[in-house]
Amino acid sequence: MCPGTFDPVTLGHLDIIARASRIFAEVIIAVTDGSFKKEPMFSTEERIGFVRQAARELELDNVRVEPLRELVTEHARQLGAHAIVKGLRAISDFDYEFQMAQINKHLAPELETVYLPASPRFSFISSSGVREVAAWGGDVEAWVPAHVARALRERSPRLASANSADTSGGTTE
């Protein structure tokens, strides 16, 4: 099982998912409703749809995507999963993920955590960075699937206000 918020799913996430799908017979992408730290930009259903579409486009037939609305360990047990797959970009990711792995091991000793290092070309990409660049009208096409880039453009407040501005060239009174 590969849990996360995927807000939005990035090419880095998809690289980890594709690599995990070559290691395990089945990979379940568990998309969380959110976290206590932040409110997601996209709804759980939107994020599930983004990941499903990307998995289809990558022809990852052994990948299943579903919502996660409980403890990761409980969800993994219900699914019969034996491993939690996490991608690591940097040492800071490892610090956080190592702590989470220890908590999960305490809660479910039968589960293993498997870390996959980010591929170098994706090691700097984060969902929060993608959201930030998109919010300022920047191009994120190289970091997310095309359907996600379109959704980000539609959701970006800066782009939305620029699109709704008067483009007639005249003045308003």
Catalytic residues: 13, 38, 89, 127
SS (H, E, C) the chain: CEEECCCCCCHHHHHHHHHHHHHCCCEEEEEECCCCCCCCCCCHHHHHHHHHHHHHHCCCCCEEEEEECCCHHHHHHHHCCCEEEEEECCHHHHHHHHHHHHHHHHHCCCCEEEEEECCHHHCCCCHHHHHHHHHCCCCCCCCCCHHHHHHHHHHCHHHHHHHHCCCCCCCCC
